[in-house]
Structure formats: C-alpha cells, structure tokens
Chains A and B, each alone.
Chain A
C-alpha cells in the first residue's frame, strides 16, 4: 500500500485492527499503566473484587457481571491501543527511511567518512546524486533535486539550494542530482525523523491543558458517585432491617446491597465512556493531522489551534496565486485594443518571467492571438527581460517594441524622441491605485516613438478563498492578510479576498509586533511561515506552522510543520483542533447523560423488593432485577466499543457559529445520550432474559 493511499484510508476503522490491537489492550491491564486513567483503574479494581466474590459464590449472574466488567476495561484499553496502533504503523514506515547512513564529512578540504550518528551540529558533509542525506541541516553550497517522499509521501522531487528560504534538507531524504554541501543542524538522535517517529507513536505524549481539566472533572464525578454508592450501604441496611420478613435477593440482603450489584452500579455511574475514550481521542486528533501531512510538535498546539482567534495569512501563495497575472490591456487614445494586444504579446514572447507568460496567455484567451515561438519569426531580434533594463521586447523589420516597468518604458520612449501623453500617467496611476501593477507598452517605428498603452497586472485571488474566510468569520476567527505591498494595493486584494484586515508593507518586525498586540488583547494567533526572518514571529505565535520547504530556523521556531508546504492548510488545522475539543465535549456530555437510564434500571432492581412502589421507576419494564443490572453493565461496556470509531474519526464538524454548533451537539449527544441507553438496555434485556438465572 502506498503512503498516500494509507493516509486517505486512515479515517475508518476496520475490525481487523481491533483484533490486531488486542494483545496491546491486554497488556494495558497492568495497573501500573492503568493508574494514569483513574476511572478505568476503578473499574479494574471492581472487576478484581467481583471476580473474588464470584469465585467464593459462583452463580451465572455473578460470572456474567465479572466477564462484562473485565470486558469494559479491555474495551477501554482497546480504544487506546487502536489509536496508538495507527501511529505505530506510520512510525514503521518512517523507521525504514532512517537507515544508518555513512556521511562524507568535510574536514578542511579533505573528506572523511564517518557514521551518520557521529555528526554534530556545525559539521559539513558532502552529498552527491544517489546518496542519502545523513542528517538535518541547511545547504550551504550548491543546488540539488531531492526526493523527500520518505517523509512527505510526495514522489515529485523538490529543489534545495544554498541561501534563501529553500535551503533546509532533512536527514533520510535522497539527493537525485547534483552535489551539495550540507551544514548539519541537529544533534544526534534528535533529527526530524526521530521526532516524527516519537510524535506519531505518541511515545512522549503529554496531556494537553483541556485534557487535564477534563480529567479533573471526571475525577470529581467519580468521587461523587463513589460517595453516592458507598453511603448507600448503611441506608440500604436500614431499609432492609425496617422491612423484616422480606427474603434476601441477589441484590439486597441483610448485609446491604451485594458487592456484585454495588460494583455494577458504581461502574455504570462513573464516566467510563469518556474515561475510556479520552486518550484515544487525543491520539486520533494528532493522527488526523498526520494524515493531512501536518506534524504537530505537541498536543497543546493542536488544542490551541481550536482556540485561535486570529489567522495571519501571507498574501502571496496563500490568498493569491504566487504571481501577478495580466488582466486587461488599456490602450491610449488612437490605439486600438487589438493593436496593443499584439504589441504586448510580441514584446512578452521573450519574457520568461511568470508575468510575461501571463501576458501571452491573456492575449490568446481574450484576443485569440496565437502564441508564437520566438524562433518562428526569423527576422526578429529578441530582447529578454533583465533586472537592469526592466524591459523586454523585440526588434523586427525596423520596428522596436518594448514592454516593462512604467518608468523604464516611458524613459525609453522619451530617449527615442517620443512624448508620452498625460493620459499614460493617468492610466498608470489608476492601475496602481486599484492595487494592480501597470506595465507600459511602447514602440519605436522609424523615428516615431510612442506609448501604445498599459497592461494591467493584478494579483489573482485563489478560487474559493472568499468562502473560506466567510466560514472563518462565522467561526469567530479574524483573518489578517500580511503583504509587502503598499496599503492601497493591499486593501484592494484584501477587499476582493474578503479578509477582515490586512497589514501592508509588512516587515518581520511589524509581523511580530502585530502578533504581540493581538496576544495582548487575549487573542490566540496562528500563522504560517517559511523564511528565517519568519522565525521570531513563528515562535511568538500560538500556532506556528512552518513549511517543510522552509529553513531549519523556521521549522525549529514553529510548533507544527506542514510537509506539503501548503499555507492554506492552516484553515484545516484550525478545524481539526476544534473537532478534537468538540469530540471530547460531546462524549463527556453523552457519558453523563447515559447515567439517567442506568439509574432507572438499577434502583428498582435493588430496592423494589423492600419498597414495591419503586417498581414504578422500572419504566423500561425489564424482566428481572438480575437482567436489569446485567443489561446496564453490558450496555456500559458495549457503548465504549460502539464509540471507538467516533473517537478516532472525531465528531462531524461544519464551520458555524458557537450557538448553532452547540444546539446540534446538545440534541445529538445530550438528549441522545439520555434517550439512547433506555432503548439499548431494553434491547439487551429482551435477549438476556432467556439465559438461566436471569
């Protein structure tokens, strides 16, 4: 199975996975590992206690309770084991990539061969085509194409070069062409792959703040129900004594409620459902990120993503397509649109910049001008675009056509004796004011130099962005566009994309200041970044997603890495964070709501013998006290298994305002949680009533 297929299929649970995880689940019965989950530890203690009782006084009812109590613990362990199992599979693929490699270390000008584990930060190594990069680092010399499929699952090679923001390389990836010198930045055993392995395995998983808080609440509920069941005993003894002549039952004797029933009641009341699934939910949340090729360095970061109030998004590449594109040809008076289009196309044929290509494409699309290869026009002399001239063009049959930056072309026209009219200035200013980039097209035909018109280049907002931002707004998240453009240009794009705010002419310092200002007001900020100059902002933000293509500094500073290097993914990360919290809340609510039905099953079963009026509470009309109690215990265990897929997948999440989300989840998990177990217990009772001793 290829990596990408596995990722797509990762959302579902196949029964085979349950069976495969069974040994791990049984191993987790060890109290030394279970103590971290107090709710389940109590169930286990109860299971041990009832086992002793069942051995001393064997009955079918007793053993049935014992078996289902043990199953409750095993099911809970199974949930965690399945969640961990998926990570383990991923870790195995990663380990395969982490073969022990040999490094060619530069010592002075000589090359020395050492084992990869012996490399220290600052060491320089040479890697050539076909070799595996021995450790994480930055390219300091050369350029190479690198196969990073081992970590990203993406088979297309990427370019890594010295200097700039694409210098980081990861140990375990393979150089396909050329030769590079890499300066190692990792310490042994702390490579990116090492961290990835421990992350997906959940080896050093720490409880997140909300998880800790939720655990406290669950502990409090457990204490309450412990108190409720323990203090019931003297009350029950009194009730039994006050009604002499009523024979002992399986549930109630002169010594009070029997141990079996007391433990059953306790296990049914304490929040076992959420207690069993809580850690699986957390692991699965991280796993969902991994499936989307995002590595979170901590669960805390995932949780913070759900709380984010402000998203900082870079304009280029995130909100707009990477480059500006031709959108309009505006001729000056006396020049036809067709004529301008033709000149613009001709002058851009030799321009290989994305802007130049877009002019040719636009001329073809809007004016039907066939794209001509430079070689097609034999007499033409091509003038390519350079940063010095800031123009490109063609000299052909005594005619010169140029296209380029407004000042450069106008100066060129003037130098050839032409006089650009005021209209050109107005056109240029107008386009600039609207946020576009004006390129002027000019020609010198014989001794007549003139400006033909202006090409309007503009940023093209990626399709669907406005809708995404509207969703964000409904979720209560403010989006801020960061751009180096002037405020006018920035505003135009911000309006078109539908972001809430923008930061124009942004320097890294401005960005950092903006984050600090937002945080000052209690907001949580998320951003993406790739360059070294993004590092301080990434470190300061609450959720900092570094692009895998970025520099080591950026990856070090952020708390997530996007292996796909897709800045738009920030939005998905936020959604996954929210989904994680919602899943926890929904299952907690469900768990508590479930208790209502269990009381209606167990209380009449315990006490209807002494106080027949309490049989009124047996609204499910369960067939016998034993069957009622056993049904409640079985339901309690089965619910855990039934909800494992939900815990792993997360509850359905659609971006919406808080009130709307809450209504839906309240009905589903609150009201549903009250009603569902009534039906479940009744159904189980209908089946088990036929067993002996029921």
Chain B
C-alpha cells in the first residue's frame, strides 16, 4: 500500500467514524442544553456557586458571567503557578516566572493552550491537574455555552432570555466532557499512554547518557486536551511524545477526539432551531473547508516541494517515524482547523506551502470545524455575513433562520470578524518593527517571518500550536501574545452574545419562496466562497512575504 493510499484510508476512516458519531452525540448535546432537569451533582454545584439555575439571563448578564468566571480563573491559575513551590505535589519545581505565569493563565483560560514553557520541567502535578487540566474542561465548556447562547438567539423569538451561563457551563462539563473524557482516557491508557504519579525516573540511554523521564497523569490530561480542543501538552513536544501519543492508532484516536465535538455541534444547532437541514448545511460548510485543507496539506507534504524533502525522498524532518508524513499532516490540519494546537509533528519543518496551510486554517478563524463551541459560533457569524452580502441579491432584506440581518446585526458580525485579523496583523507588524520582537527570531528571511506570523495567528485565534523557531518565553512575547489570546477570545464572545441578544429579541420573519434558502448546496458553496475570499484578501500580503515567498521560490 502506497503512502498516499494509506493516508487517504486514514482520513476516510476518520470521516466514517465522525459520520457515525455526530448524530447521536449532537442529539445528546441537544438534550443536555434544552432539558429543564438538573442532576443531583449539578444542584450541589449551583448551591455552592449560589446560582439560581432556573433563572434565565439576558445577553449582558450572560456575558458578565463568562467574563467574571474567566477573570477569576486567570487569577487562580496565575496564583497557583506562582505559589506552586509552597504547595504539595510540586515535584520540587520553582515558582513560574511572572510573565510566563500570566501568559499560561490566559492561555489555558482562553482555550488557547499556547505553551511558553516546557511542561515537564516547569509545572508540578498540582498545577497540571488542579490548574491546567481543570481549565481544559471548563474553557471548552465556556465555548460551548457561548455557542448555545447564540443558537438560542436564532431559535427564540421576542425574548431577552438566552439561557443561564452557569447552567450551560456546568452541564457541558458534567454531562458532555467528563463522561467522554473518562471513556477516552481508558482507551488511551489501553493504547499505551501513561497514567501515574511517579517521580521522574533516571534512565541510562543507549549512548550511555542519563535521562530523566517524567511520568504523570498523562492519559487523563491527554484526552481532554484533544476533546476540548485545548492542545496544551503534558510534555513539551506534545503529542509527538510517546507517552502522550504512543502509536499510529492512538494518533487516529486523538484526531477523532479533536474533531468529534466540533463536528457534532451543528447537529445540536439544527435540532435547537428546529430544522436539522440547517445544521447539515453548517456541517457541510465545515466539512468542505476541512476536507480541502486536509487534502492540500497532505498533497504539499507528500509531494515534498522543498529542498531537503526532495533530497531525502520525503518531508520527514520534524515528523515521528511511527506516524509518517500523511498521518502527521492530517493531525496538523486537524489541530489547526480546530482551536486545539496539539502537535504530533513540528510545523516549522513542514514544506513551506504545507506550513502555509496550517497557518491558513487558523486564519479562517478556526471555523472548520473550529474549537468546541467557538467553531460553531464563528461559522454562524460567517453565515450571517454571507447572508448579508449575497442575500440582498434575492431582493429582500437579508434574513437568516427567520431573523432579519439589519444594521445592528451586521455591525456586531463585522466587529466579530474584524477582531482576529487585526490582532494577527498588528501583532506581527509590531513584532517586525520592534527590537524585542526581532530578537526572538531564530531564522531570518521569509521563514523567520512565517514563524512570527504563525505565533500571532495561533495566539489571536486561540489555537495554541507553535510553528517553533521563535523564542517566545520572553517578557515581550509573553505579554503581546497573552494580550492577543485574551482579546482574541473575549471580544468576539462579547460580540457574539450581543448578536444573540439582538436576534432573540426579533419577531421571526416567515419563510416564503422569496426567502434565500440556507440549507441548499448553493448556500454552502456561497459561505465557503465568501469565507475564503475575505480571509485570502485579508492575509494575502502577509502570506506573500512568508510561506508564499518561500514556497514559490
């Protein structure tokens, strides 16, 4: 079996698995977010939080909930890192330096999981488990909660109520993430991942040197790292480490975990707005973009259009032998198409155009399928913009799912769309025009530039993967990237919730033959087209000076 065939089978089996799972899982999530019944454990949490779980919130209250929860989380995480030497299970680690602690706190709360540190040599078990792992769950649940609020905006009429943030947060964690993570962790342990509290072991290597191998609760972290599209690895090399990703099939399973929730949420959306076909259309847009991206990344990597790959026959630099080129490329595409940012290969070593693909995936705003929740709301905002641009061409005030897209809606959607491109471009420009920014670059020329562009793209879009080749644990980069992560997460969330509030207040417009149908291939193609053109137009100059300059030479 040729490499290409094997790679295609790998992708095909993933598609099949996702196709089988997305319906029941989507239906399950629909029930989770619409039922009125609380579990006993949930009631206990509500009582502890002092929350009235049956009271609904308007958009501003919902947004305050998100922000308050996130700010408290950042402070807690920061404190935990700074004080870890005084607490237990620290493995003797020193307190984390202030700029790294800030960056890491923001990074994990924003579902980015950008790691300006090396996990095994910086964080003790307590920080990993009580701090980072907890955020891996709740930051994902926050994303889903915001998405559900937006979906309710479409589904509901003449109301200010968008649900209750605390209920959505708790239910997402307790009923969706925890059960799947529990089963997934067992599968990963069976696949060879470690799960222990062992102290680092000294072992002698083949070359006679000594190496300290850290064990730990890896499998349980690993599963939520992928499932919650977080991406913060237990080890510095992330999913390339054999304890995080043992074999080719754990690699498959981890990609599956990355994609399963984002690809199931459109079903939940379809159920909630009462038209499954609308969910299918959103799913189709995501699938088309994702498949195109996976295919292109594979093609660029397998054809190895660069000097070294052509010399040695395959673009194996920076990739694990046990995964190979194709499966690494697929992992790379999946992790950047979502907001995961876990890596099982070194993106810096991809062929220039392959590297551009993983960058472009993030520039799309991570909507295909995107981070848990974040992908769905990002895609719905793009659908709103598409409806507006193209919807006028049917001769009516644009409307989506029975809601008019007027001045207020397009203003919020535009603001949402503006945030990340401006953060990426401004951040990159500042870095290139500033001694601190230039100081971190290990490479020069277009490749060095790509590394900086990648870092800001990853942070602003809350991906968290790194191209590499850039020294980012400096105060300047920690601060700048931390700001990008925070603004790139919370500004869009505020705009999305305001949009949800504005949609929910509207009376529905009845559908007629004159209404733009938003469930047909025509519309799917249109959203894909508008997304690609807008993103390409925004980023083409930057891409031209980085990966394109390198890849077309």
Contact = CB atoms under 8 A, between A and B. Distances in A.
A666 interface: yes
Contacts of B409: 213
A307 B394 CA distance: 10
A124 B548 CA distance: 81
A663 B393 CA distance: 9
Given A232-B541, A243-B445, A522-B509, A658 B410 contact: no
A252 B349 CA distance: 30
Interface in A235-256: 235-239, 242-243
Contact of B540 (A212, A603, A657): A603
A220 B389 contact: no
Contact of B395 (A229, A306, A589): A306
Most buried by A among B390, B438, B513, B541: B541
B215 interface: no
B397 A475 contact: no
A613 B537 contact: no
B192 interface: no
Contacts of A473: 513
Given A220-B418, A231-B429, A239-B549, A210 B392 contact: yes
Given A593-B533, A599-B540, A658-B517, A581 B392 contact: yes
B406 interface: yes
Interface in A443-475: 473-475
Contacts of B405: 213
B551 A613 contact: yes
Given A213-B405, A243-B445, A613-B553, A666 B390 contact: yes
Given A223-B418, A306-B397, A584 B392 contact: yes
Interface in B426-454: 426, 428-430, 432-433, 438, 444-446, 448-449
A19 interface: no
B538 A228 contact: yes
Interface in B349-398: 385, 388-397
Most buried by A among B396, B445, B529: B396
B396 A670 contact: no
B544 interface: yes
Nearest to A229: B541
A115 to B, nearest CB: 45
B553 A611 contact: yes
Given A476-B512, A522-B507, A599-B537, A239 B393 contact: no
Contacts of A234: 429-430, 432-433
Contact of A581 (B396, B407, B430, B507): B396
Interface string A210-232: 10111011011001110111111
Nearest to B392: A585
Contact of A232 (B517, B542, B551, B553): B542
A209 interface: yes
A581 B545 contact: no
B414 A220 contact: yes
Given A611-B549, A613-B553, A303 B513 contact: no
Nearest to B539: A228
A569 B507 CA distance: 29
A309 interface: yes
B393 A666 contact: yes
Given A220-B414, A234-B429, A614-B552, A658 B541 contact: no
A233 B406 CA distance: 35
A588 B550 CA distance: 34
A439 B522 CA distance: 58
Contacts of B549: 239, 607, 610-611, 613-614
Contacts, number: 224
A577 B426 CA distance: 42
B514 A475 contact: yes
A596 B421 CA distance: 18
Contact of B517 (A219, A220, A585, A659): A659
B359 to A, nearest CB: 14
A521 B510 contact: yes
Contacts of A585: 389-394
A611 B510 contact: no
A235 B516 contact: no
A588 B392 contact: yes
Contacts of B273: none
B397 A669 contact: no
B47 interface: no
Interface string A295-322: 0000000010011010000000000000
Interface in A573-627: 577-579, 581-582, 584-586, 588-589, 592-593, 595-596, 599, 603, 607, 610-614, 616-617
Given A232-B541, A593-B533, A209 B397 contact: yes
B453 to A, nearest CB: 8
A661 interface: yes
A662 B513 CA distance: 12
A181 interface: no
Contacts of A237: 432-433
B407 A213 contact: yes
A665 interface: yes
Contact of B446 (A228, A589, A599, A611): A611
B430 to A, nearest CB: 8
Contacts of B432: 234-235, 237-238
A239 B411 contact: no
Nearest to A585: B392
Contacts of A307: 396-397
Contact of B514 (A236, A303, A603, A658): A658
Given A522-B507, A589-B390, A235 B541 contact: yes
Interface in B500-518: 507-510, 512-517
A269 interface: yes
Contacts of B389: 217, 585, 588-589, 592
B425 interface: yes
Contacts of B544: 603, 607, 611, 614, 617
A477 B515 CA distance: 10
Nearest to A215: B407
Nearest to A657: B513
20 contacts: A214-B392, A217-B388, A224-B421, A224-B537, A232-B429, A235-B542, A238-B433, A307-B396, A474-B513, A521-B510, A522-B508, A522-B510, A582-B393, A589-B390, A595-B533, A596-B536, A603-B544, A611-B553, A662-B390, A669-B393
Interface of A: 209-210, 212-214, 216-217, 219-220, 223-225, 227-239, 242-243, 269, 303, 306-307, 309, 473-478, 521-523, 577-579, 581-582, 584-586, 588-589, 592-593, 595-596, 599, 603, 607, 610-614, 616-617, 653, 657-659, 661-663, 665-666, 669-670
The 6 nearest A-B residue pairs measured at CB? A476-B514, A585-B392, A578-B395, A476-B512, A220-B414, A613-B552
Given A217-B410, A242-B448, A666-B393, 11 more contacts: A213-B411, A216-B411, A224-B422, A228-B425, A242-B445, A477-B512, A585-B389, A585-B390, A596-B537, A603-B540, A610-B549
